[in-house]
Structure 1
Amino acid sequence: MMKHPVLRFLLPHVLVTVLFALISLLYFYPVLTNKYLEQSDIVQYKGMQRQILEHRAEFDEEPYWIDNAFVGMPTYQITAHYPYDLLRYLETAFFFLPRPADMLFLYLFFFYVFAQSRRFSKPVSVLGAFAYGFSSYYIIILMVGHNTKAMTLAYAPLVFLGLFQVLIDRKKWGILWLTFGLALQLHANHLQMTYYTLVMVFIITLMWGVHTWYKRGILHTLKPVSILLISGLLALILNAQSVLATLDYTKFSTRGASELTINPDGTDKIASDGLSFEYITSYSYGIMESITFISPNIMGGSSSESFADESPFMKFIKVKMSDGSLDYDTAIGLLRQFRPYWGDQPFVAAPVYLGVVVLFFAVLGLVLTNKNTRIVLLSIIAVSLLFSWGKNTPEITQFFIDYLPLYNKFRAVSSAQIMIMLCVPYAAILGIQHLTQEKGMSRKNLLAVYGVVSTFIVLILFLIVGANGFFSFTSTSEGLSNLPNVLLEPLQLSRKLFIWEDVWRILTYLILIVLALLVLRRNLVSGPLFAVIIAITCLVDLWQYNRLFFDTEQFKGKYQFEYPFDKTSQDKIIQKDKSTYRVFEPRLGFSSSRSAYFHNSLGGYHGAKPALLQDVYDFHLYKQDSAVLDMLNVKFIIDDQYADGVGKRQSSLGPVWLVDEVIQVANANEAILQLNQIDHKIQAISQTLKSTLYTSSPNDKISLIEKRNNFLRYSVSTTHERLAVFSDMYYPNGWSLFIDGELQSYHKVNYMLRGVVVPPGKHEIEFVFKPTVIRNGTLLMASGWLLFLVMIVMLMRKQKDSKLE
C-alpha cells in the first residue's frame, strides 16, 4: 500500500476532487456533447460587450468605454481587462471544466476545502459540499447566467476558512486564506454578494469579539480583529483597479445620488444617494414564502410555470372552451394571468429549496452544537430573513436603508438569503458530525433526534391544514376579488395540489432519514458509512428537485451560442446606412441589449445604468419626444407601426453640431424640463455656461473624421467663437478634450451631453478616454501584490523558525 505520507494524505482529496468534477459534468451532461448553455443574462451581456470585443480585435487594446448602448458608458461593470491582473489569470486556471459545470465544481470544491479546514470527516465534508452546491438558488443562477454572482458565492467558503483560522484557530496562515478569499470575491465583481458575505463576517466577528473580550480581555480581541482589517484592506488593494473604477462610475450611475429634486410627474423627489425603497424591495421574499426552504411549492413554485393539462384549472378551461362559453383569446389570457405561483414577487425563476435532508440535520446541528455557535448561526439566519423580506417588513427595511452603510446600493433583497444558504449546510454537517463521532447514539443525541422528527411531523400537519383551507392560494397582486367562484375554485384547487407534492416529498425523506438513524443507533453501519448514506440521500433530494428546472433545450450548438441574436430585416435595412447614428427600439426600453448587438443604441441591459440617460428616459424618451431623440442622434426607430418596421428620422442632428445660443439654467430640474422646449439645432442648455448669443456664418462647419470607442477626432472651421454640442455622454472622469493638441475644458450641456466652446478659425478637436483611475489602480494593485508576497515570505520564515526550535 501507499507508504509516502504526503501521497497518503493527498489521495482521498484527489479522489473527492475527481468525484466533484464528474458529478458537475454529469449534472450538466449536454456540455459533454459540445453543447453550450444559453444563459439569458449572458445573452444580454454579449449584446453589451460586442463593441469591446471588436475594439480589442482591431486595436489590441482595452477601450474601457462603449458607445453601442446607453449613449456611452464605461466598461468597468461589463467586461474590462485590467493590466497585470494576476487574479484573472488565476481564475482562468479554476475554470478548466466547460461552463456551467465549472461553477458547480467550484461550489462543491471550495465548501469541501472549508469543511476539511474545520476538521470534519471527509464523508461529512462531501455531504456539506452537496448541500451547499446543489441548493436550488445556486443552480438556478447558473441556468440564467448570473455568473459573477455564482463565482462570488463559490469563493465565500474560502473567506470563512480564513476567518475561522484567524479568530478561532489563531493560525498564522489564516490571514492569507482570508485575503485570498476576499480578493477573489471582489474580483468576481458582484459586490452585492460580497456585501452579504461581509455582513456575515461582521456578525461572526462581533459575537466572537464580545465573548473573547469578556473571557480573555481586550488584547486577545484586538490582534485578530486587526488581522481581519489588514486582510480586508489588502484584498481591496489587490483589486484596486476594479474597485476604484466601480466607485468612480457609481457616482454617475443609477446607484448614485441624483441632481434632480423632482419626479417626472412634478412631485418632489425624495433625496437619496442610492436606490429608492420601491426599487430596492421590488423583489422581496414573502414571509410565509420562506417556507419554500423545505416546501418549495407552498407558493406554487416558479412564476414562469403553467398548470399541467390534468390540473383542475386546465380541465375547467378546456370544458368551458368546448361548450363555447369561453373563446380562445380569453382562455389564453386567463392561462397567462393565472399560474401556479401565488406569491407577491414579480418574477421567480424557481423557489429557494434547501432540501428536506439538509434542513433536518441543520436543525439537529443547531440543537446539538454549542451555545455560541448556535447563537451566531441563528443571528445570521435572522438577519438574512429580515433583509430578504424587504417591503413585507417596511419599517425594518427602511431602518436598514437609512442606517446600514451601502444597503441602499443594492436591489433584489430576496438574494440576501444566500447567507442562510451558507449557514444551513454548515449547521447540517455539525449535526451529522455530532451523530457520527461516537459509537451508537447518546441519550442527548437521541432526544434531539426525537425533537427534530416531531418538528417535521408538525410541519407536515401544518401543510396539510393549510392545503385544506388555512391558505388562501391567492395573491393581492392578482386582483381576484371580482373573479367568479366558478373560476376561483379550480384555480385554488390546482394550487393546493402542489402542496400535497411537498407533503409526500417531506414524508418520504423523513422516513428514509429515520430508517438511516435506526440503522446507526443499532450499530449496523459505521459513522462514516452513515454519512455517505445521508450524503447520497441529500444529493438525490436536491438533484431530483433541481432537475424540474433543467431544460436541455437551453443548450445550443456553438454557432447559436456565439451569435445569440438573429439579425432581422429591420437590422439589415438600418445597417445599409454607413453614417454615424443611433437606433431606438421602444418596445425593449432599457431592458435588452438586442439592438446594441447590431447598432449603436439608446437601450441596453445593465444593473447600473448611466443616471443622466435614465433621467432623460423617465422624463422624455419613454414617450419618444422628438426633440430629445434629435439631440441623441436617433436616426432610426425599430417599431412595428412603420411599414417595414423601421422609422427613419430625417431630423436627427448627427454626432456633432454648432449652436447659436446658450441658455443658462439655474439647476438640473430646469435643464431636464427644458429639453423638449428648445430648438436643439440652434440652442443648448447649460448650468455652467452663461447665456450667450453666438454669431454664425454659413461657412461654419464641424464634422467627425475619426471614431473609436476611446477616441473621437473632429475637424471644425468657424468665423467666430461658437459652441459645439457633441451627441455623446458627458463623463468627465476619463474623457479629456484637446484642441490642436492642447488640453482644454468642456462642459455639460443639454443635461447629459458634452459642449465645447470653439475659438474662431480651423481646429482639430480630440476627445480621448484615458481614465486616471485605471493607472492609479494599477500602481496600487502592484504594491498590494508586493505586500502579499512579503507576507508569504515572513510567514514561511516564522514556520521554519518554529520547526527549528
Structure 2
Amino acid sequence: MQLNFKKEVLPHLIGVVSFYVLIVLYFSPIVFEGKTIFQNDILQWEGSAQEIQEFREETGEEALWTNSMFGGMPAYLINTEFPGDISRTVISILTFGLPHPINGLFIGMVGMYILLLVFKVRPEISVLGSWAFAFNTFHMLSLEAGHNSKIWAICLIPMILAGIHMAFRGKWLLGVAVTAIALMLQIRFNHLQITYYTLITVLIYAIGQLIHYIKQQKLPEFGKIAGILILGGLLAVGANAGRLLTVLEYGEYSIRGEKTLDTPNQGDSGLNKDYAFSWSQGKLESMTLLVPNFMGGASQETIGQDSHSAEALQKNGISGAQLNNFIKSAPTYWGDQPFTGGPIYGSVIMVFLFVIGLIYAPKRFRNIFLAITIISLMLSWGKNLAWFNFTLFDYLPGYNKFRAVSMALGITLFAIPVLGCLGLERLFADNNKKAKIKALLTALGITGGFTLLLIIFAGAFGFQGAADANFPAWLTEALREDRKVMLQKDAFRSLVFIVLSGFLIYLALIEKIKYQWAALGLAVLVLGDVWTINKRYLNEESLKTSPSKSYFAPSPADKKIMQDDGYFRVLNLQNTFKEARTSYRFNSIGGYHGAKMRRYQDLIDRILSKEINQFVQKAQEGNFDYESLSALNMLNTKYILAGQAANAVFQNPEAYGPAWFPQEVLPVQSNEEEINKLADMDTRQQATVNSEEFDAKAGKGTVELTQYAPNELHYQANVTKAGLVVFSEIYYPKGWKALIDGNEASIIRTNYLLRGLMVPEGEHEIKFKFEPKSFQQGSILAIISQYFIILMLLSGIVISFKKQD
C-alpha cells in the first residue's frame, strides 16, 4: 500500500510530536533536570512500600505482605510485581520513554486523538480536543497530590472508547485489540473506582448504540459486536488475573468488605456513607468548568497586598509577617468540600464548543456524550444529590466500595471535549452558512452571556466559606469581597476567551481564514487558557530535587530507635493513622492507606484511638501509664514517638513482644462481644477466642522469634503445658500457613485480630509462611492473555493496512 505522506501521515505525525513536546515543555525540570513533583501521597506510598521493595531487591521475590503499616496487611494494593508481566514494557514503548507519571498525560492525548479521528473529526480539531483533555486542572491537581494511578486510569478512557467505536465502525479485530490493551493497562494501574466510572461511560455509549441499532433493525449485528467486545474485556481482565484475584480476595477483609461490627450509617458491607461522600462537590461548584475561580480556587490562595483582606488586616493593626502569612495562604475557597487543591477546569472554550456540539453534533453521539456529562456531574455531587447517589450507594453492585465521588469529574472533563470537537467538526463541514452562523451566535450568546451575567451579578452569591467561623466579622466581610473579586476577574477572563474563540470560528465561517487555521488558533487559545490556570497550582515550586531523600532522612528520633535491632512496632503520635514516614524504617501501628484491614479499623475506632488519647493526657501530666496500653502492648508497641528529636522517643517497657502464653482463654460468641471484652481485659494474661469458630485452651511456656521476613516468621517454643500461643501478628485467613515442626497447623483468630496457635507440650519450631494461592493462580493466566492481546493488536494493524491497499 502506498501512503500519501502529506495527507495521511504528516498531520498525525505533527499531532503526536506536539503531544510529546508539550509534555516536555511543561515538565522540563522533570525531563532535563531530574526533578520530580512534590507529591505527598507518593511520599507516603514510598514509606509504605519500602519494606516490600527492600525484600524484592535482597531476594528477588515478592513479599506479598508487609508488617510496616497498621500492624500488618497484604501488599497487593501497595507494591506488587507479577512474574512475566509485560505491561511495563508496553507502557514504555507507547510513551516513548517519558518518565512516570507525566507519561500518562501523553497517552491521554494520543488516546483522545485516536478517538476523535475514529469519530471522523479532522486532525486539527482532534489535536485541539487532545490538548484540552490532557491539560485540564483535574489532571494537574491530581499529579500534584500524587494520585498517579488515577491520572493513568482516566487518560486511558479515550483509548478504550476509541477501540469500542472502531469495532462498531466495522474494524472489529483492531477495535477489540485496542480496547483490550487499553483496558489491560487501566486495570494494571489498579484504580478500580475509575475503572467503575469507565464501565458506566461504556454502558451509556452502548445504550446509545443499542437504540440506534434497534431503530435500524440491526439488533443481531449489535449483539455480535458487543459479544466480541466483551471477549476483549475478558482478555483484559485475564491479563490482570493476578492483580484482580488478590485484590478481590483482600477486598472481603478490608474496610470495603463486609462489616464485622454494627456501625451506624453503614450497610452490611462497603464504606461508611459519611466517609464515602466526604468529598462531594457542590452543585454550584460545577460552575468552575466555566470560571476557574468561581469558588475561590484552592482552599488557600495568595491574594495581593491590595486585597480587601490585606486592607482590613492593616486597619486592625496587623502587619509584617503575620499579614504576609495570611495573604499568602488566604482561605478563599467557599465550596462544599473539606478542602481542595484547586478548581476543576478544562477551558471555557471547550464549554463553548460543547454548546455548539449540543446544537450541531450528530444526534446519536450528542445524546451519548451529553448523558455521560450529566451523569458524571450528578455522581460528583455526592451527598449534595442524596436521592440519586445514596440510592446508587445502597443498590448499585460494588459502588459502596468507593469514596471521593468528586473524581467523577474526570469523566466530565473527558466527555466535554469529545462533544465539543464533534460539534465543531460538523459546524465546519456544514454547507449552510446561515445556519452555521446562527448556531455560533446561539452558543456565543449562551456561554458569553452567562459569563457576563456572572460579572454583573456576582454580588448575588454569599461567598461564605467554612473557614469564616474562625475569623472576626470584619475579616470575613473582607474575605467575601476578595472572593467576589476573584470570581469577577476570572469571569472576565473566560468571557475574553469565549469572544476570541467565537471570532476565530466566525472568520472561518465567512471564509476569511481557512478552517485549518481557525482550528489551530482555537487549539492555541485552549492551550494558553489551561496552561496559565494550571501554573497557578502545578508550577516550578511544585518540582523538587529528590523530595523523598530529604523527607525520609533519618531524624535524631529515628536514629535512636534504629539502635534497637529487635522486633517491635512504633506508635507515632503525630498524625498516627495518616502518615507512612514511620513505615519507611519501622513496623508501624499507623500508616497511610485507603483500604485498611476491616478488623484493624474496628480496633482503631473502638479501642486504639481512645487508648492513645488517654495515654497522651496522662503523659502530659507526667504519668506515663504504659500498663494501660492493653491493645498497643499486645501489638508489641515498644516505642512511642512524639516528635523528631531524640528526647521525643519513649520506650514502652510493657510491650509483650512477638508472642506469649495467656493464662486464661475467654470464649466469646460474636465480634461485638469480643471487641467489647478486649477493651476491658488484661491482654497479657487473658485472650479471647470465638468459640463458634475455634477451639482453644490456656497453656504455659515461652516463645522466641528467631527469624523474620515480611512473608515468613520463625519461632522457637518451649511449651510446658499445651495450649494457646498468641502472636502479635495480624490475622488474615487467606494465604498464611502455620507449621509446627513441619506439620501444618490451624491458625486461630484471637483477641479479635491477632494470630494464635494451639501448640503441644515440648520444644517446637513454629513457622508462619504467606503463600496466597490467588497470586500463584493468576500469574499464568495473565501472561497468556497479555501476549494474546499483543498478537491480536499486531494482526489488527496489519489487516487494516491491507484493506486500505
What CA distance in whole angstroms lies between the structure 2 residues aligned with 1:281 and 1:706? 44
Residues 1:712 and 2:713 aligned together: yes
What CA distance in whole angstroms lies between the structure 2 residues aligned with 1:787 and 1:313? 62
State percent identity of aligned pairs: 32
Where does residue 39 of structure 1 map in the other structure? Answer: 39
Residues 1:287 and 2:283 aligned together: yes
1:662-673 aligned within 5 A: 662-673=665-676
Normalization by structure 2: what TM-score? 0.93
Where does residue 615 of structure 2 map in the other structure? Answer: none
Where does residue 478 of structure 2 map in the other structure? Answer: 490
What CA distance in whole angstroms lies between the structure 1 residues aligned with 2:544 and 2:629? 41
Where does residue 313 of structure 1 map in the other structure? Answer: 309
Residues 1:19 and 2:9 aligned together: no
What CA distance in whole angstroms lies between the structure 2 residues aligned with 1:425 and 1:282? 28
Cα distance 1:357–1:83, how it changes in 2: closer, same or farther (>3 A)?
same
Cα distance 1:648–1:766, how it changes in 2: closer, same or farther (>3 A)?
same
Residues 1:186 and 2:173 aligned together: no
Range moving further from structure 2, 300-309 or 736-745: 300-309
**How far apart are residue 543 of structure 1 and its match?**
0.6
* Equivalent residues of 2:108, 2:155 under 8 A apart: yes
Range moving further from structure 2, 580-589 or 794-803: 794-803
Cα distance 1:332–1:641, how it changes in 2: closer, same or farther (>3 A)?
farther
Residues 1:525 and 2:525 aligned together: no
Residues 1:694 and 2:698 aligned together: yes
* Equivalent residues of 1:663, 1:690 under 8 A apart: no
**How far apart are residue 656 of structure 1 and its match?**
1.1
Where does residue 344 of structure 1 map in the other structure? Answer: 336
1:128-147 aligned within 5 A: 128-147=129-148
Residues 1:406 and 2:402 aligned together: no
Where does residue 28 of structure 2 map in the other structure? Answer: 29
Cα distance 1:795–1:641, how it changes in 2: closer, same or farther (>3 A)?
closer
Cα distance 1:583–1:693, how it changes in 2: closer, same or farther (>3 A)?
same
Amino acid at match of 1:545: I
What CA distance in whole angstroms lies between the structure 2 residues aligned with 1:223 and 1:776? 31
* Equivalent residues of 2:689, 2:749 under 8 A apart: yes
2:172 is paired with a residue of what secondary structure?
coil
Amino acid at match of 2:401: K
Where does residue 524 of structure 2 map in the other structure? Answer: 536
What CA distance in whole angstroms lies between the structure 2 residues aligned with 1:16 and 1:335? 42
Amino acid at match of 1:286: G
Where does residue 463 of structure 1 map in the other structure? Answer: 454
2:661 is paired with a residue of what secondary structure?
strand
Given the alignment, which residue of 617, 623, 631 partners 2:604?
617
What CA distance in whole angstroms lies between the structure 1 residues aligned with 2:593 and 2:68? 13
What CA distance in whole angstroms lies between the structure 1 residues aligned with 2:694 and 2:491? 72
2:295 is paired with a residue of what secondary structure?
coil
Range moving further from structure 2, 223-232 or 409-418: 223-232
Amino acid at match of 2:312: F
Where does residue 367 of structure 1 map in the other structure? Answer: 359
What CA distance in whole angstroms lies between the structure 1 residues aligned with 2:788 and 2:600? 41
Residues 1:648 and 2:636 aligned together: no
1:590-601 aligned within 5 A: 590-601=577-588
Q: CA RMSD in A?
A: 2.7
Amino acid at match of 1:206: I
2:704 is paired with a residue of what secondary structure?
strand
* Equivalent residues of 1:435, 1:527 under 8 A apart: no
* Equivalent residues of 1:661, 1:692 under 8 A apart: no
* Equivalent residues of 2:276, 2:402 under 8 A apart: yes
What CA distance in whole angstroms lies between the structure 2 residues aligned with 1:352 and 1:597? 33
Cα distance 1:794–1:548, how it changes in 2: closer, same or farther (>3 A)?
closer
2:657 is paired with a residue of what secondary structure?
coil
* Equivalent residues of 1:185, 1:194 under 8 A apart: yes
Range moving further from structure 2, 280-289 or 17-26: 17-26
2:660 is paired with a residue of what secondary structure?
strand
* Equivalent residues of 2:305, 2:327 under 8 A apart: no
What CA distance in whole angstroms lies between the structure 1 residues aligned with 2:218 and 2:107? 39
1:714 is paired with a residue of what secondary structure?
strand
Q: Deviations over 1:357-384 (max 9, x none)?
A: 1111121112101222221112111111
What CA distance in whole angstroms lies between the structure 2 residues aligned with 1:340 and 1:444? 43
Normalization by structure 1: what TM-score? 0.93
* Equivalent residues of 1:213, 1:220 under 8 A apart: no
1:578 is paired with a residue of what secondary structure?
coil
Where does residue 66 of structure 1 map in the other structure? Answer: 66
2:333 is paired with a residue of what secondary structure?
coil
Where does residue 473 of structure 1 map in the other structure? Answer: 463
Cα distance 1:189–1:511, how it changes in 2: closer, same or farther (>3 A)?
same
**How far apart are residue 695 of structure 1 and its match?**
4.9
What CA distance in whole angstroms lies between the structure 2 residues aligned with 1:104 and 1:798? 29
* Equivalent residues of 1:388, 1:415 under 8 A apart: yes
Where does residue 780 of structure 1 map in the other structure? Answer: 781
Residues 1:450 and 2:437 aligned together: no
Cα distance 1:631–1:471, how it changes in 2: closer, same or farther (>3 A)?
same
What CA distance in whole angstroms lies between the structure 2 residues aligned with 1:312 and 1:802? 67
Cα distance 1:180–1:640, how it changes in 2: closer, same or farther (>3 A)?
closer
Where does residue 756 of structure 1 map in the other structure? Answer: 757
What CA distance in whole angstroms lies between the structure 2 residues aligned with 1:636 and 1:368? 67
1:393 is paired with a residue of what secondary structure?
helix
Residues 1:378 and 2:361 aligned together: no
**How far apart are residue 408 of structure 1 and its match?**
0.8
2:529 is paired with a residue of what secondary structure?
helix
Given the alignment, which residue of 497, 522, 533 partners 1:509?
497
* Equivalent residues of 2:85, 2:783 under 8 A apart: no
Q: Deviations over 1:139-177 (max 9, x none)?
A: 211222111111111211111111112234453321111
**How far apart are residue 646 of structure 1 and its match?**
1.4
What CA distance in whole angstroms lies between the structure 1 residues aligned with 2:790 and 2:151? 28
1:217-296 aligned within 5 A: 217-261=218-262, 263=263, 270-296=266-292
Given the alignment, which residue of 567, 574, 592 partners 1:605?
592
What CA distance in whole angstroms lies between the structure 2 residues aligned with 1:787 and 1:567? 47
What CA distance in whole angstroms lies between the structure 1 residues aligned with 2:717 and 2:467? 59
What CA distance in whole angstroms lies between the structure 1 residues aligned with 2:27 and 2:685? 59
What CA distance in whole angstroms lies between the structure 1 residues aligned with 2:803 and 2:16? 32
Q: Deviations over 1:301-332 (max 9, x none)?
A: 11132433321112211221259xxx998x89
Cα distance 1:643–1:152, how it changes in 2: closer, same or farther (>3 A)?
closer
**How far apart are residue 763 of structure 1 and its match?**
0.9
Cα distance 1:553–1:802, how it changes in 2: closer, same or farther (>3 A)?
closer
Where does residue 427 of structure 2 map in the other structure? Answer: 435
**How far apart are residue 218 of structure 1 and its match?**
3.1
- How many residues are aligned here? 786
Unaligned runs of 5+ in 1: none
**How far apart are residue 125 of structure 1 and its match?**
1.2
* Equivalent residues of 2:301, 2:328 under 8 A apart: no
Range moving further from structure 2, 755-764 or 138-147: 138-147
Cα distance 1:142–1:790, how it changes in 2: closer, same or farther (>3 A)?
closer
What CA distance in whole angstroms lies between the structure 2 residues aligned with 1:189 and 1:502? 36
**How far apart are residue 787 of structure 1 and its match?**
5.2
Range moving further from structure 2, 219-228 or 150-159: 219-228
Residues 1:584 and 2:558 aligned together: no
1:727 is paired with a residue of what secondary structure?
strand
Q: Deviations over 1:424-461 (max 9, x none)?
A: 1111211221233357x622211111111111233123
Amino acid at match of 1:252: Y
What CA distance in whole angstroms lies between the structure 1 residues aligned with 2:326 and 2:788? 63
What CA distance in whole angstroms lies between the structure 2 residues aligned with 1:630 and 1:216? 70
Range moving further from structure 2, 406-415 or 485-494: 485-494
What CA distance in whole angstroms lies between the structure 2 residues aligned with 1:301 and 1:798? 50
* Equivalent residues of 2:707, 2:715 under 8 A apart: yes
2:293 is paired with a residue of what secondary structure?
coil
* Equivalent residues of 2:128, 2:526 under 8 A apart: yes
What CA distance in whole angstroms lies between the structure 2 residues aligned with 1:505 and 1:794? 49
